[in-house]
Amino acid sequence: MKAINTVWLFFRFLSQNTKIKLEYKLDSFILFVSGAALQALGFLFIAVLFSKVPNIAGWTQWEIIFMLAAIYISEGLVSFAFEGAWQMAFLVNSGEMDRMLLRPVSPVLQILTFTMGIHGIGNMALGAVLLSLSLSHVHVAWTFARVLFIPIFIVSACAIRTAISFAANCSAFWLKSYYNAFPLMVYQMADFAKYPSSIFGKAIESLILFVLPYGFISYVPACWLFGKAWWGIFAWGSPLVALWCCLAARWVFYRGLRRYDGSGN
Amino acid sequence: MLRLALRKYRRFAALAIQETLAYRIPYIVNMVSIVVTYAVIFGIWAAVFSGKASVGDYAWAEMKTYLVISLFMSALVSGSSEYRTSRQIRTGNIAIELLRPADYQLSSLSITLGNSLCEGVLVSLACLAFAFATGPGVFPPDALSWALFVVSCLIAIATKFLLVYVFGLACFWTNSLMGISWLRKGLTDFFSGALIPLAFFPGWLMTVADWLPFRNIVWVPAGAFTGRIAGADLARSLAVGVAWVVALWLIARFVWSRAMRKVTIQGG
């Protein structure tokens, strides 16, 4: 009952936020277009690069575009549905969070859905296009397991992405400043997961597999799907990684909440 | 009169330096984020070149140098003045700027130059570290080449400042800078050749890049440094660069004068 209620509330918040954003038509349009255009430039970069070389560290163009697409889709969903995570610094420092703590609804849900990002729609749309393009170009022997794997990994990828970005933004409880740079740095580390991470060396590869598991969004699934490494089979563990990330993020949030003392007035 | 004006704008630059030193965190974060971006780009290119003497007609030594110059130019003028302008427009503080007996475009330029001076120190250190970590590269052969490289850098700074400034003025019409800023950054990174040398572009895309001002930000300075653009070619590129700076300066003036009609609506 509680779960259904939460889902219902989530969609209510999302639709309200969408209405608010659509009030600013020019802004929404610019955000939507620039979000999609940026991703298109990322795609163009890879296309130009591969016009000169047949493969990078044994990976072909469409295999890398698959990874890029996975990153774009998960990034798009976080922006679209859970953009509120990025408002943590504001919520903590302005004391706005007081309001959320008083309501009989999970503060995590309220924070995540505090706002939404129109650009997420553009990201997801372009990511979906790139994903289907790449899957139609790569040579994969499609078995039942591989087909089943696609939706599982996409859902896990979105959950991992949301959890990492939420946990990083919870740093606002400790770093009390309106300009909190820490989550941005964490966010940027996902750049290493847009490409086969082994090319960056063991240290970076370990970082995005074990510390900030962005690797489970794109790299590990790609390794399994395209048979790049024996440990690609761990891609099936991505729902567990996602669950672990969500629990860890929740724990970080409630730890941080103990430090929260409102703005007082 | 001129001396007085110069002193006035030098003061803006000095204030910008003080401000940067006082609020170090955004400035350091910006640097870290640029270094991460380049670590990714560098990793990709190293993988592309592994086991090959050259790709396209680039040798690895030239490519490394290209990336270091690209890092230098990309980090030198950050988007901070974009956010300053948009913040002032959104909060209405722009009204105070309008009351000041100083030209907004010139004072913004002075502030950007002040910031660039601070950034320059840190960026140069980062580039040196990068250059040391990546091994020997290609250097300009003589004093004249060095001088022309410095000229191309000045053109690059002016071009980048003006682009950031014009895009920042868009906030008079729209509330969100985020999308506009991304778009500017994405276009700059791609069409300046920051991520991939323009020589790798297919013909039609190269033509597009040639007609845009972004190439003056990375492609021309890097070419002047490595010697890929030299002689009459370089002279022409620099002349086109100067023409772009003048054109962008006038475009910025025009956008500003249009914006001034808009500002009364925003004010409150």
Average pLDDT over every residue of B55-81: 84
Cβ of A31 within 8 Å of Cβ of B25? The answer is no
Query: Is B8 within 8 Å of B102 (Cβ atoms)?
Result: yes
pLDDT for B264 beyond 70: no
Cβ of B202 within 8 Å of Cβ of A48? The answer is yes
Instruction: Determine the residue of chain B that is closest to A56 in CA distance.
Output: B48
pLDDT for B268 beyond 50: no
Percent of chain A with pLDDT over 90: 32
pLDDT digits (tens, 9 = 90+) for B119-154: 777 778 878 887 777 777 788 888 898 999 999 999
Q: Rounded distance, CA B140 to CA A261, Å? A: 59
Cβ of A34 within 8 Å of Cβ of B179? The answer is yes
Query: Is A180 within 8 Å of A173 (Cβ atoms)?
Result: no
Q: Rounded distance, CA A30 to CA A43, Å? A: 20
Taking CB atoms within 8 Å and a gap of at least 24, the contacts of B15-22 are B15/B111, B15/B114, B16/B110, B16/B111, B16/B112, B16/B113, B16/B114, B16/B115, B16/B118, B17/B114, B17/B115, B17/B117, B17/B118, B20/B114, B20/B115, B20/B118, B20/B119, B21/B118
Cβ of B40 within 8 Å of Cβ of A200? The answer is yes
pLDDT for B266 beyond 80: no
In chain A, residues with a C-beta closer than 8 Å to the C-beta of B176 are 24, 27, 30-31
A142, amino acid identity: W
Three-state secondary structure call for residue A84: helix
In chain B, residues with a C-beta closer than 8 Å to the C-beta of A181 are 25-26, 29
CA angle B144, B147, B151 (to 5 degrees): 135
pLDDT digits (tens, 9 = 90+) for A150-202: 999 999 999 999 999 999 999 988 887 777 778 888 888 898 999 998 899 88
- In sequence order, the 6+-apart residues with CB closer than 8 A to the CB of A139 are none
What pTM was computed for the model? Answer: 0.86
Q: How many CB pairs under 8 A join A and B?
A: 98
A33 CB near a chain B CB, below 8 Å? yes
pLDDT for B220 beyond 80: yes
pLDDT for B267 beyond 50: no
Average pLDDT over every residue of A219-239: 88
At B80 the pLDDT is 64
A27 CB near a chain B CB, below 8 Å? yes
Q: Rounded distance, CA B240 to CA B173, Å? A: 30
In chain A, residues with a C-beta closer than 8 Å to the C-beta of B201 are 48
Q: Which A residues 154-183 touch B at CB under 8 Å?
A: 177, 179, 181
In the block, tokens 């995590």 appear at A108
Of B40, B47, B190, the CB nearest to A191: B40
Taking CB atoms within 8 Å and a gap of at least 24, the contacts of A38-47 are A38/B182, A38/B183, A38/B186, A39/A72, A39/A122, A39/A123, A39/A126, A39/A127, A39/A130, A40/A126, A41/B186, A41/B187, A41/B189, A41/B190, A42/A68, A42/A72, A42/A194, A43/A68, A43/A126, A43/A130, A44/B190, A45/B190, A45/B195, A45/B196
In chain B, residues with a C-beta closer than 8 Å to the C-beta of A177 are 25
pLDDT digits (tens, 9 = 90+) for B171-219: 777 776 778 888 888 899 899 999 899 999 998 999 999 999 999 999 9
In chain A, residues with a C-beta closer than 8 Å to the C-beta of B33 are 184-185, 188
At A25 the pLDDT is 80
Cβ of A48 within 8 Å of Cβ of B196? The answer is yes
Q: CA quadruple B38, B39, B40, B46: dihedral positive or negative?
A: positive
**Which residue numbers of B have CB closer than 8 Å to A's CBs?**
25-26, 29, 32-33, 36-37, 39-40, 43-44, 46-48, 50, 55-56, 173-176, 178-180, 182-183, 186-187, 189-190, 195-196, 200-202, 205
B32, amino acid identity: V
Residue B184 tokens, joined? 């500017």
Q: Rounded distance, CA A193 to CA A219, Å? A: 6
At A13 the pLDDT is 86
Stronger pLDDT, B220 or B117, i.e. the higher one: B220
Query: Mutate which of B35, B89, B178, B187 to test chain A, going by most A C-beta atoms within 10 A?
Result: B178
Q: Rounded distance, CA B128 to CA B106, Å? A: 32
pLDDT for A241 beyond 90: yes
Three-state secondary structure call for residue A140: coil
Q: What is the ipTM of this complex?
A: 0.84
At A130 the pLDDT is 92
Cβ of B29 within 8 Å of Cβ of A185? The answer is yes
Per-residue pLDDT band for A62 (boundaries 50, 70, 90) equals very high
Of A27, A51, A204, the CB nearest to B174: A27
Q: Rounded distance, CA B44 to CA B40, Å? A: 6
Q: Rounded distance, CA A207 to CA A186, Å? A: 11
The H or E element containing residue A7 is helix A2-23
Q: Would you list the domain boundaries of chain A?
A: 2-257
In chain A, residues with a C-beta closer than 8 Å to the C-beta of B48 are 49, 52-53, 56
